[in-house]
Amino acid sequence: MILVDTNVLVAMSSRRDRLHDAAMALMISLPPGQGVLPTVLAETAYLINEAGGSGVERQFVRGVDRDFTLVTWLSQLVMRRASGEGPRARH
């Protein structure tokens, strides 16, 4: 699974974004089933709302279920590690 970050999602949401075409081409070139973290979803929704309004934000959020996999397990693992409850990464 490939995780998609905020910059790609924001660029995809606006044809006026200078990286829109590159973001769209990237996503088209990838296999289906890309993942997005809840924190990325929240940040993206906020930025899209700021730039385009609540209607554009609503459209984005509705499309997430259709186009992406919400990756909650990774966020939970990171939080457990940060709190000292989960396994530590080896260096």
pLDDT per residue as tens digits for the range 19-54: 999 999 999 999 988 999 989 999 999 999 999 899
| Domains in the chain, number | 1
Question: Distance between CA 79 and CA 49 in Å, rounded?
Answer: 27
Q: Residue 87 — very low, low, confident or very high, per pLDDT cuts 50/70/90?
A: low
Rounded mean pLDDT of 59-88? 78
pTM of the predicted model as reported, rounded to 2 decimal places: 0.77
Question: Is residue 41, in this structure, part of any structural domain at all?
Answer: yes
Question: Is residue 46, in this structure, part of any structural domain at all?
Answer: yes
| pLDDT at residue number 91 | 53
Q: Which domain holds residue 22?
A: 6-83
Question: Is residue 1, in this structure, part of any structural domain at all?
Answer: no
Cβ(34)–Cβ(4) under 8 Å? yes
Rounded mean pLDDT of 74-87? 72
